[in-house]
Structure 1
Amino acid sequence: MWRAVLLWLMLATPLLAAPLTRDQLEPMIVAPYALGEPVNDAGVWSLLNSGGGEAGYVFETGPLAPLPGFSGQPINILVLIDLEGTFIDTRLLAHNEPIFVSGLGEAPLRDFLTQYRGHSIHEPLVVGTAYGNSGGSELVYLDGVTKATASVRIAHESILAATLAVAREKLQGISAGPPPRPDPDHSEALDWEGALAEGLIRHLRVTNAEVDTAFAGSIWADDDPEAAEDPDAPFIDLYAIDIGPPALAQALLDADSLADVQRLASLSPDDEPLLLIEAGRQGLVSSEFVRNTAPDLVSAQQDGLPLALRDADLSVSLGEGVPEELSDATVMVLRLDRRLGFDPSREWQLSLIAERQHGMFQPEAGSRDFALTMGLPERFFLRPEAVTQLPPWLSAIQIRMVDLILLGVGLLALTALLLRQSRLAAQRHYTAIRLAVLAVVIGFVGFWGQGQLSIVTPLAVLRGVMQGGGLEVLLYDPFSLLVWVAAILGFVLWGRGLFCGWLCPFGAMQEFAHHLGRRLGLPQWQPPRSLGRALLWTGPAALAVLVLTSFIAPQHTETVAEIEPFKTAITMHFDRPWPYLLWAGGWLAVSMVWFKGFCRSICPLGALMRLGGLLRLRKWIPRRVQCGSPCQLCKVKCNYAAIGTKGEIRYSECFQCLDCVKIHDDPKLCVPLIIAARQRSRAA
């Protein structure tokens, strides 16, 4: 018995996208490249050229940078880079972003990924538009996708984080250990002069004459008359301070600004804030700059790799100790992400870009960089010991811990109720109690938790197990897994009834549709016995087609699986094209006149759940010798037609609605009890 339960657990659990195998990867690598040997167990492989020499690396973003997308699951992208860090190709492998699953389709996302080819990880790549910049800024803009900004930015961050991890360790030999964090307990008295003298505040001053010298010999040499008029005036007068350490922030900011920076640190603990004070002509951003995006005149790099700078969207004021001549300077707070390998305690470079325009119509832009070396002493930071990264399945459990606890408590409470089914069914307001439970299932298990089970899951798991996938990947979606476990354990007590009758969100929606139909006075249809028995075979037939498709033509499995309306109704909240809406809404409309018609006919998951009756250990629905002969009341009242003519319960078709239990235990409803009571009355 327990072997059967274990088998069902294996076949009915979500499959995590483990790193691709050699057989899966090789067809994706096209000439003149070939797949080499695996570099590590995180899905990084060497890339060979036509002569068999090492040409670069190929890897997936999912295992290296499992940043959750808008759907809550990572966007997995295949990345090929050469030994110089130049992108050879970026290709979409898997995602669950709703806007691309249904709505825009995958084409815009795939088109977006083609923009990386030929660009280097050493370039400051940002998602957005150049806002009319004709090329003066060194930022490389990648056009986003309208209506999918969040998903595209997450895809970009995944590519950047994964590629930087490979580039730092494989291309430069720099181990990507945990970055240091500002020590909140480090305190020391600092003032402007002392911090400047020690190098805690870095200063870059570039005169107009020095900028003219940088542009000398180019077409932009004479395009700044103001510089020629006053060559000794500062074009750039920049002070840069890493204010991640609290001691530096307290020394330079007023009380309100300090509170804002501390609030930023609590909301974004992985960001390192950088205070810039610019008192020259240049400024920090162009007139086209948009807040909370990458600054267009400032760039940074460490170890030859770019750092992602972003505006912190804070308006700060300087403290009393800052020199009075800087009171009118431009002040800005940027932030750098330590998760992408940035180490503020090591040397890094901050560059301010000087731009000039040449020509009146469609001017040609040119730029020159003026760099400032940054870095703070170790005493301001805590360097955590290297820790083993949590496996994705354990991380998924931690992320959804609150939901899992609520679901677990709910499942225990539901089990306790159903174990006392006679008392539950005898409640005066039993129908209201059942509908309340089903409403929670629709709202919490379905719409919120996305715990609508699907036949796609056991098919994917079965295929993965047969292909040698590890069992640890079965915990990738812990919320759905817990529902699967409850359903499988429910087989032992009640057969399919626990899930199909109480835990299926779409089944619950059909039951509400049935009650609505009755309220509207719609006629109720029950198929003739012969037709009803025939319709029971449509589910196994659909299941067989899906199984064959998953092995013969797996690329079409998702399309064939659309026979289930669950994705449209629950996962996508009915936000899909009209054919899908017609299919899902049509079955809800059918349920208004034919009780849970989809569940009782074509549902492939229901067909699989029928096998749960084989694992049932007991006949939990009480019967009397009079049931079926002569009494047929339970059979007539059963909306699922799960009671035979002789009164026997067909547990493979029973949804555990408890209507027959209510009749059986009610002396005012059960015909044998009524007759027995009358006989006792006559005898008395």
Structure 2
Amino acid sequence: MIRFLLIWLAFATPLCAEVLTRDQLSAMILAPYELGQPVNDKGVWTLLNSGGGEAGFVFETAPLAPLPGFSGAPIDLLVLLDREGRFIDVRLLHQNEPIFVSGLGEAPFRAFLEQYRGHSINEPLVVGTPYGSGGTASDNVYLDGVTKATASVRIAHDSILAATLAVAREKMQGVGAGPAPKPDPAHDEALDWKALLDQGLVGRLQVSEAQLDAAFKGTTWAHDGAGADPEAPFIDLYAIDLGPPSLARAVLAPETLAEIARFTARAPDDELFLLIEAGQHGLVSEDFVRNTAPDRLTAVQDGLPLVLRDADILPELAADLPPELSDATKMVVRLDRRLGFDPTRPWELRLQAVRQHGMFQAEVGSAHFPVALQTPERFFLRPAAPERLSPFAEALRNRATDLWALAGFLALLIAALLTQSRLAGLRAFTPVRLTILALVIGFVGFWGQGQLSIVTVMAVARGLVAGGLEVLLYDPFGLAVWAAAGLGFLLWGRGFFCGWLCPFGAMQEFAHHAGRLLRLPRIEPPRSLARALLWTGPIAATGLIAVAFLAPEHAEAAAELEPFKTAITMHFDRPWPYLIWAIGWLAVSTVWFKGFCRSVCPLGAVMRLGGLLRLRAFIPRRVECGKPCQLCKVRCAYGAIKPTGEIRYSECFQCLDCVAIHDDKSRCVPLVLAAKRARRVA
């Protein structure tokens, strides 16, 4: 029965919409253009001008580049491209990204897409904010991203590039978009530096000071920087393909080879190149931000730009390489073979040289020096079919600093909780706990956007049935918090996340402390009602997952049952109905401790299920607990202790109050009575 239901749901809820019909597309094409004839069955059409001549192409991105978004479905965009490769327009057809459905709204997304107009596919387009931009006069074209929607904008940008370059290669350049080759791991050659040079396996660009002066001759910058030795090397660039293992072994130290192997395991479709610049120029400007597109380097193949990015690897060279290369500027860059790059066909790496004229508000000029590169076919294998884009390594490097900080925070938190008796026994335990919760709200929540949500559970549920869990890889920070919650299931049950890592839960706890300072009454529902409210979360979670399958167009609206997006993702910057819902629950928490967590929260219901994986009973108990001592039960703010003294771990938030009582000789009733008996005996 379950198998039949899953199969039915898979067919009942397709992830991708069908290609638009001619009538639908015609209504979207505005004068002076009109729709021509279909080019293929993947949504590519010719675009006609007012005279009936072919002006370019019209196509949807979803059929050509079905990169899944957070809803499990691709972001579908309409691209109008002229015959010279310039974007006439990029429009949003359909998206179901949570942040744009009911968070920021679609306005900032549409504003982001407007930036493509007038730009050419021959320009190296890069999402600049928040990935960082380069120095003055960089050849890269930086598009402003959308704050709080980093992953969704990245998905849209990669979809546009992948679909547009596929159309351009096939229809405008006459180059087939077949599968790119991959390095052959079985191919082995004994090579050294001399052999690499003799066989032309190292690309080299040499530009003297005289050649640089000649490049700027007759311009405003002709005499800026002049006066150096004309024969001195201004640029002495070496470029080596690190994809083939034989080439990498010939130039890299063992430590760097191991790092390259780890990188390749994470991103098997990236082709790495080692760049060594032994002249005076260098490779990037002082403003360059690692993990982004190099601002002084661009790459072109078949007349189309290649997506060139820094690999964030600091290479060490092999010991037998010439000594003068050891002190040279070194960098490892990457090119994505899935976006059409083929290292076995000719391509160009272009290095930009910049001069400035004037002291104040200097006028910047540039000259470009190309080096032709091509790696022999013998080092590669050609796969039979292309593989799907994998964004994880890209997103991982973009958030490397945040992830390291999160890893350190989680390591310290887990270490502290593993010695829970010491932590709970601190005289300043409450200030310590509130400090940790403040960090969770500020760093994990507001800064890292690591508030877990039932939306992710809904997307995973759909992905498990229909395939496509790649959406998780666009948010490595959130994925790390999920991993920590999973580890917490084994050690402490649901309490690790719900009690220590949930930003909105932490907000409710601060609200409750504010209620105590304001001397508001503390309200607890009757025991029968409190037990009944424990079922509202599972019912809500079940209903939301059902909506994700049966009515996915309403899934994001239904997920607003959680106030997390309003409070954490949007920083309370939303219309008043959402604010009333989120702030109302915080107000409730001032009198009813964590009311949302203990009743409606659908994510808490999922965490309860995860808590079934708990391997141990981590809260110590005595035989007197519950028989007759009821102190811990009375003091438990969550009502998670049975009258018999046993802990209901499915309801325990790991606040450690009962642990503090258990180890306190002045508060634990059995310990107090034992001490009195000992004094009487003495």
Check whether TM > 0.5: yes
Deviation of residue 202 (structure 1)?
Answer: 1.1
Deviation of residue 148 (structure 1)?
Answer: 2.3
SS of equivalent residue, structure 1 residue 52: coil
Q: Which residue of 2 aligns with 1:117?
A: 117
Whether the aligned pair in 1 keeps the contact of 2:299 and 2:306 (CA below 8 Å) is yes
Q: Which residue of 1 aligns with 2:342?
A: 343
Indicate yes or no: 2:257 matched with 1:249.
Answer: no
Q: Which residue of 1 aligns with 2:176?
A: 175
Deviation of residue 566 (structure 1)?
Answer: 3.9
Q: What is the one-letter code of the residue matched to 2:458?
A: Q
Q: Could you report, residue by residue, the CA deviation over 1:41-90 in whole angstroms, capped at 9, with x for unpaired residues?
A: 11111111111111111111111111233454322211110111110001
Indicate yes or no: 2:170 matched with 1:155.
Answer: no
Whether the aligned pair in 2 keeps the contact of 1:242 and 1:274 (CA below 8 Å) is yes
How many residues end up aligned between the 2 structures? Answer: 451
Alpha-carbon distance between aligned partners in 2 of 1:187 and 1:369, rounded to the nearest angstrom: 36
Q: Which residue of 2 aligns with 1:214?
A: 215
Q: Could you report, residue by residue, the CA deviation over 1:542-563 in whole angstroms, capped at 9, with x for unpaired residues?
A: x9xxxxxx9xxxxxx97xx699
CA shift in 2, pair 1:384/1:328, >3 Å: same
Deviation of residue 315 (structure 1)?
Answer: 0.9
Q: Which residue of 1 aligns with 2:458?
A: 450
Deviation of residue 328 (structure 1)?
Answer: 0.7
SS of equivalent residue, structure 2 residue 210: helix
Alpha-carbon distance between aligned partners in 1 of 2:126 and 2:57, rounded to the nearest angstrom: 23
SS of equivalent residue, structure 2 residue 250: helix
Alpha-carbon distance between aligned partners in 2 of 1:388 and 1:524, rounded to the nearest angstrom: 50
CA shift in 2, pair 1:208/1:6, >3 Å: closer
Whether the aligned pair in 1 keeps the contact of 2:346 and 2:373 (CA below 8 Å) is yes
Whether the aligned pair in 2 keeps the contact of 1:16 and 1:476 (CA below 8 Å) is no
Deviation of residue 446 (structure 1)?
Answer: 4.9
Whether the aligned pair in 1 keeps the contact of 2:349 and 2:371 (CA below 8 Å) is yes
Whether the aligned pair in 2 keeps the contact of 1:565 and 1:580 (CA below 8 Å) is no
Q: Which residue of 2 aligns with 1:52?
A: 52
Alpha-carbon distance between aligned partners in 2 of 1:315 and 1:10, rounded to the nearest angstrom: 46
Alpha-carbon distance between aligned partners in 2 of 1:185 and 1:7, rounded to the nearest angstrom: 41
Whether the aligned pair in 1 keeps the contact of 2:273 and 2:333 (CA below 8 Å) is yes
Alpha-carbon distance between aligned partners in 2 of 1:450 and 1:586, rounded to the nearest angstrom: 25
CA shift in 2, pair 1:79/1:523, >3 Å: closer
Q: Which residue of 2 aligns with 1:528?
A: none
Q: Which residue of 1 aligns with 2:527?
A: 519
Alpha-carbon distance between aligned partners in 2 of 1:295 and 1:287, rounded to the nearest angstrom: 11
Q: Which residue of 1 aligns with 2:107?
A: 107
Alignment of 1:357-436 (within 5 A): 357-386=356-385
Q: Which residue of 1 aligns with 2:201?
A: 200
Alpha-carbon distance between aligned partners in 1 of 2:177 and 2:299, rounded to the nearest angstrom: 18
Indicate yes or no: 2:325 matched with 1:326.
Answer: yes
Q: Which residue of 2 aligns with 1:25?
A: 25
Q: Which residue of 2 aligns with 1:126?
A: 126
Whether the aligned pair in 2 keeps the contact of 1:33 and 1:50 (CA below 8 Å) is yes
CA shift in 2, pair 1:280/1:98, >3 Å: same
Larger radius of gyration: 1
Q: Could you report, residue by residue, the CA deviation over 1:340-370 in whole angstroms, capped at 9, with x for unpaired residues?
A: 0000011110111111111111111111110
The root-mean-square deviation of aligned C-alpha atoms, in Å, is 4.0
Q: Which residue of 2 aligns with 1:224?
A: 225
Q: Which residue of 1 aligns with 2:562?
A: 569
Q: Which residue of 1 aligns with 2:262?
A: 263
Deviation of residue 303 (structure 1)?
Answer: 0.4
* Identity, % of aligned positions: 61
Alignment of 1:604-683 (within 5 A): none
SS of equivalent residue, structure 2 residue 103: coil
Deviation of residue 584 (structure 1)?
Answer: 9.2
SS of equivalent residue, structure 1 residue 116: coil
Consecutive unaligned residues in structure 2, runs of 5 or more:
390-450, 471-523, 534-546, 589-682
Deviation of residue 149 (structure 1)?
Answer: 2.5
Whether the aligned pair in 2 keeps the contact of 1:137 and 1:367 (CA below 8 Å) is no
Whether the aligned pair in 2 keeps the contact of 1:239 and 1:277 (CA below 8 Å) is yes
SS of equivalent residue, structure 1 residue 202: strand
Alpha-carbon distance between aligned partners in 1 of 2:176 and 2:40, rounded to the nearest angstrom: 14
Q: Could you report, residue by residue, the CA deviation over 1:428-461 in whole angstroms, capped at 9, with x for unpaired residues?
A: xxxxxxxxxxxxxxx99955430799xxx9xxxx
Alpha-carbon distance between aligned partners in 1 of 2:95 and 2:230, rounded to the nearest angstrom: 56
Alpha-carbon distance between aligned partners in 2 of 1:335 and 1:563, rounded to the nearest angstrom: 36
Whether the aligned pair in 2 keeps the contact of 1:445 and 1:452 (CA below 8 Å) is no
SS of equivalent residue, structure 1 residue 102: helix
Deviation of residue 97 (structure 1)?
Answer: 2.3
SS of equivalent residue, structure 1 residue 342: coil
Alpha-carbon distance between aligned partners in 2 of 1:451 and 1:585, rounded to the nearest angstrom: 27
Whether the aligned pair in 1 keeps the contact of 2:135 and 2:286 (CA below 8 Å) is no
Alpha-carbon distance between aligned partners in 2 of 1:326 and 1:383, rounded to the nearest angstrom: 33
SS of equivalent residue, structure 1 residue 371: strand
Deviation of residue 30 (structure 1)?
Answer: 0.4
SS of equivalent residue, structure 2 residue 186: coil
For structure 1, which segment, 36-45 or 244-253, has the greater mean C-alpha deviation from structure 2 after superposition?
A: 36-45
CA shift in 2, pair 1:243/1:168, >3 Å: same
Q: Which residue of 1 aligns with 2:297?
A: 298
Whether the aligned pair in 2 keeps the contact of 1:127 and 1:156 (CA below 8 Å) is yes
Q: What is the one-letter code of the residue matched to 2:201?
A: L
Alpha-carbon distance between aligned partners in 2 of 1:326 and 1:209, rounded to the nearest angstrom: 23
Q: TM-score, normalised by structure 2?
A: 0.60
CA shift in 2, pair 1:562/1:277, >3 Å: closer
Q: Which residue of 2 aligns with 1:239?
A: 238
Q: What is the one-letter code of the residue matched to 2:337?
A: R
Consecutive unaligned residues in structure 1, runs of 5 or more:
391-442, 458-473, 480-515, 526-542, 544-549, 551-556, 591-684
Whether the aligned pair in 1 keeps the contact of 2:356 and 2:363 (CA below 8 Å) is yes
Whether the aligned pair in 1 keeps the contact of 2:566 and 2:579 (CA below 8 Å) is no
Q: Which residue of 1 aligns with 2:41?
A: 41
Alignment of 1:93-104 (within 5 A): 93-104=93-104
Alpha-carbon distance between aligned partners in 2 of 1:155 and 1:340, rounded to the nearest angstrom: 14
SS of equivalent residue, structure 1 residue 229: coil
Deviation of residue 154 (structure 1)?
Answer: 2.1
Deviation of residue 109 (structure 1)?
Answer: 1.4
Alpha-carbon distance between aligned partners in 1 of 2:46 and 2:321, rounded to the nearest angstrom: 52
Alpha-carbon distance between aligned partners in 1 of 2:248 and 2:556, rounded to the nearest angstrom: 59
Alignment of 1:58-69 (within 5 A): 58-69=58-69
CA shift in 2, pair 1:369/1:339, >3 Å: same
Whether the aligned pair in 1 keeps the contact of 2:15 and 2:72 (CA below 8 Å) is no
Whether the aligned pair in 2 keeps the contact of 1:316 and 1:331 (CA below 8 Å) is yes
Q: What is the one-letter code of the residue matched to 1:68?
A: P
Indicate yes or no: 2:191 matched with 1:190.
Answer: yes
Q: Could you report, residue by residue, the CA deviation over 1:229-250 in whole angstroms, capped at 9, with x for unpaired residues?
A: 3111000000000110000000
Deviation of residue 147 (structure 1)?
Answer: 2.5
SS of equivalent residue, structure 2 residue 123: coil
CA shift in 2, pair 1:36/1:587, >3 Å: farther
Whether the aligned pair in 2 keeps the contact of 1:452 and 1:570 (CA below 8 Å) is no
Alpha-carbon distance between aligned partners in 1 of 2:323 and 2:556, rounded to the nearest angstrom: 72
